[in-house]
Structure 1
Amino acid sequence: MAPKVLVVLTSYGRIESIGQPTGWYLPEFAHPYEVLSKKGVEIVTASPKGGVAPLDPGSVEAFKGDASAANFHATKAALWEQTAPISSFLGKSSDFAALFYPGGHGPMFDLATDADSIALINEFVAAGKPVAAVCHGPVVFVNVELPGGKKLLAGKEATGFSNAEEDAVGMSKHMPFALEDKIKEAGAIYKKAPEPWAPLTLVQDGGKFITGQNPASSVGVGEALAKAIGV
């Protein structure tokens, strides 16, 4: 039977302070999807609200020249238009090989504090299943506390969209907080690539905890996840 990976997308589609659409970021789902699907992995999708998980239109435009992302956008809409609520997957970690969170600015506003998402991550960690996230996706880990009260990120090397990259896209002042700072505050050893936009994928806990810094890290996260689940 093909292994299944549960992919959790944001339900947050608009930054009200600037009246700008947002959501999840196209290549950060498209590239890992390509890596995993080529290895026979089945992808199942969830979001806080269920239904359509908003895709950031800016990412579609920015990656229209990327064949993998463009093909995914053209052919796989059901994956993000027909998500199930995160709550419907609680208690079902045994059905899946791993848990993965793409980025985009949306997760900064909903998944960072979503109680169902936090419970889901705890469940996968307790079951010894890999958890992974890329770009803004690692925000899902910053508020996760393990049953004993220790922060999930404490003592781990982790990455995510850097302050320098957020400044470069002019979005720092529109975010509820700085992701790099929050990762550090949660006790992680924050790492970033030598240059903004360069790829960086970090693998901890023997493959059970995977983070990628930015869109360029999406393939690396997909490959690390494939290795972690043995495909």
Structure 2
Amino acid sequence: MMKNILLIVTNVDQYASGNFKTGLWLSELTHIYHMAKEKGWQISISSPKGGNTPIDPESLKPLVLDNLSKGYYENPEFMNELAHTKSLDEIKNNSFDCIYLAGGHATMYDFPDNTTLQEILRDQYESNKMVAAICHGVGGLLNVRLSNGEYMIKGKNITGFDWFEETLARRKNEVPFNLEAALKERNVHYKKAFIPMTSNVVVDGNLITGQNPFSSKEMAKTIIHELEE
């Protein structure tokens, strides 16, 4: 059955300090994009402001750039899609079976306080439809309140890039906040992989979260499977 998926990406290209470039973590988009494409599903890519989504140069390094993502990076048609994303305002009244927040440190700047994003996610969740987020994209769930005023993620089983992984990524002193601590402040049941930087996907009803870039493939498989149930 045809499904309609919205993939949300960042518009930010550097840390507030200006010391490092950032952007979308490529594999966190390519795996779900690829699997949905293979199914013949409808895919929309959107960003807070619309237009270009920069790619985090770290995600293009040989050790982390898998063959699938490399293929998409070298695909002019796909890169053109990333250069011309629709703004959240343009798509906010559309209906989707799944809304997926791709990560990259950049999302910590333009996801958490975006009120349009919060409205879109609240409506999606309250319609009993899937909300998914991976890595730093999980930060986009932090401030979403339901119609009853409660935080959407309160009491939920959830994961996201943990603080030790931030140390390993050498970005502890650059990020605007500690994602793991912020999630715990929302009284979630935070679940992390036993070994840092390994795949971890957590499903709680219609809410699916992935811990880090190494969860990209499992995350995509899980979303596809859940949508086909």
Q: TM-score, normalised by structure 1?
A: 0.94
CA distance in 2, matches of 1:113, 1:65: 30
CA distance in 1, matches of 2:107, 2:65: 25
Following superposition, the deviation at residue 16 of structure 1 comes to 3.2
Number of residues of Structure 1 aligned to a counterpart in Structure 2: 227
The amino acid of 1:79's aligned partner reads: E
- Correspondence for 1:153: 153
CA distance in 1, matches of 2:41, 2:72: 16
Following superposition, the deviation at residue 79 of structure 1 comes to 2.5
Following superposition, the deviation at residue 89 of structure 1 comes to 1.4
- Correspondence for 1:200: 200
Unaligned runs of 5+ in 2: none
- Correspondence for 1:11: 11
Unaligned runs of 5+ in 1: none
Identify if the C-alpha distance between structure 1 residues 225 and 121 changes in structure 2 by more than 3 Å, giving closer, same or farther. same
Following superposition, the deviation at residue 129 of structure 1 comes to 1.1
- Is the contact made by 1:63 and 1:69 (CA closer than 8 Å) also made in structure 2? no
Identity across matched positions, percent: 30
CA RMSD of aligned residues (A): 1.5
Following superposition, the deviation at residue 64 of structure 1 comes to 6.8
The amino acid of 1:49's aligned partner reads: K
- Is the contact made by 1:10 and 1:106 (CA closer than 8 Å) also made in structure 2? yes
Listed as ranges, the matches of 1:138-217 within 5 Å are 138-205=138-205, 208-217=206-215
Per-residue CA deviation, residues 135-173 of structure 1 (Å, 9 max, x unaligned), is 111101111110101111111010000100001111111
The amino acid of 1:85's aligned partner reads: S
- Is the contact made by 2:131 and 2:208 (CA closer than 8 Å) also made in structure 1? yes
Per-residue CA deviation, residues 168-194 of structure 1 (Å, 9 max, x unaligned), is 111111111100011111121111000
Identify if the C-alpha distance between structure 1 residues 63 and 51 changes in structure 2 by more than 3 Å, giving closer, same or farther. farther
Per-residue CA deviation, residues 58-82 of structure 1 (Å, 9 max, x unaligned), is 2112457511010111111122111
